[in-house]
Amino acid sequence: MSAAGEGDHAYNPYTRSCPSRRLLRELGELWSVLVFGALYDGPLRFTEIARRVDGISTKMLTQTLRTLERDGLVSREYYTESPPRVTYALTELGRDLADVMDALEKWAVGHMDEVLAAREAYDAEHAG
Amino acid sequence: MSAAGEGDHAYNPYTRSCPSRRLLRELGELWSVLVFGALYDGPLRFTEIARRVDGISTKMLTQTLRTLERDGLVSREYYTESPPRVTYALTELGRDLADVMDALEKWAVGHMDEVLAAREAYDAEHAG
DNA sequence: CTGCATCCTCTTTGATACTG
DNA sequence: CAGTATCAAAGAGGATGCAG
């Protein structure tokens, strides 16, 4: 079929050198997922995100936000005030992805008990 | 509501020490996502997975499979033949998650062009 | 407040060689 | 085939100090 307008790229993350692999690695990163979740309900300032994502360093938050901004997933708004104010928000593209991220997060939270139980069972069986 | 039978745990990955954070980090890992995708269509042998996930080392494949097995997401079947045969398959719990993983992978592949374009635009704007 | 630069450590990962 | 063991290389991540 190779529909028209789709371009002839066949991105395939199962291949070493395909850029989609790097993107997938990037999106799956914990900090990315949590930042998406933090911005899910609306724009936030740098410090507000940091407060919600407990334990993230300014370095990692900056790095994560820059990467997401460069990928067109997050937008940055700078207000020249005193002190300066900067807000981050999901772009249209980012909101689209946010639903997937949210699903992943919800899955982890929602099935934590089952996973924990599975681990116990596994450890018990592989002890003797 | 806090429905009965759900337990009173309030797993929250935005918190440093919550086990759901570690789980989320684990699931988001590139190799986990790709192994899920490889097993999506049915059971596979160790070598078959390695062949599909281009570039993964036996060490990482083993480690990834062990982790997923321990979490109850993947099952391992050992057949004492000569040469030995081992197959891996998604468990019921794993199949549930597989849909989310698949959505993430599909998103990355499906929006790669847009992300690439966004990067160009960003780089162009932040060059001068 | 927002964030860049640096240093430094700890973990992750890849390559390689070897075993049941 | 399906791993395990080991070693070296690479990179991620945190702490800190400074700047706009």
**Mean pLDDT across chain B:** 93
Determine whether A81 is exposed, middle or buried from the number of CB atoms within 10 Å of its CB (0-12, 13-18, 19+). exposed
Across the range B30-56, mean pLDDT stands at 98
Strand partners, B4: none
* Best B12, B16, B17, B24 residue to mutate vs chain A (most A CBs within 10 Å): B24
| Contact between B105 and A19 using a beta-carbon 8 Å cutoff | no
* Chain B residues within 8 A of A96 when measuring between CB atoms: 107, 111
**pLDDT for residue A5 is more than 50:** no
Q: Is the CB of B107 less than 8 angstroms away from the CB of A96?
A: yes
Average pLDDT over every residue of B98-109: 98
Confidence of residue B82 (pLDDT cuts 50, 70, 90): confident
Residue pLDDT, tens place only, A15-58 = 999 999 999 999 999 999 999 999 999 999 999 999 999 999 99
> What architecture is domain A20-126?
Orthogonal Bundle (1.10)
- Scan for tokens 């042998």, then name that residue: B45
Confidence of residue A3 (pLDDT cuts 50, 70, 90): very low
Contact B109, A22 (CB under 8 A): no
The two three-digit tokens of residue B57, written as one number: 């080392």
> CB within 8 A of A92, min separation 6: which ones?
none
Q: What is the pLDDT of residues A60-111, one digit of tens each?
A: 999 999 999 999 999 999 998 888 899 999 999 999 999 999 999 999 999 9
A13 closest CB neighbour out of B34, B103, B111: B34
Tell me: pLDDT of B2 over 50. Answer: no
Min Cα separation B83/chain A (Å): 24
Contacts of B113 in chain A (CB under 8 A): 7, 9
Mean pLDDT of chain A: 93
- pTM metric for this prediction: 0.93
Distance from the B78 Cα atom to the nearest Cα atom in chain A, whole angstroms? 15
pLDDT confidence of residue B78: 95
* Extended strands (E) in chain B: 44-45, 74-79, 85-90
Q: Span B111-127, mean pLDDT?
A: 95
User: DSSP secondary-structure letter at B3?
Assistant: -
CA distance A73 to B41: 31
Position A82 scores a pLDDT of 82
Domain residue limits, chain B: 20-126
Of A84-88, B39-43, B79-83, B93-97, the range with the lowest mean pLDDT is: B79-83
Contacts of B75 in chain A (CB under 8 A): none
Q: Name, in order, each residue with C-beta under 8 angstroms of A72's C-beta and a sequence gap of 6 or more.
A: A91, A93, A94, B114, B115, B117, B118, B119, B121, B122
Q: What is the pLDDT of residue B53?
A: 98
- pLDDT band at residue B127 using 50, 70 and 90 as cut-offs: confident
Q: What are phi and psi of A18, to 5 degrees?
A: -70, 130
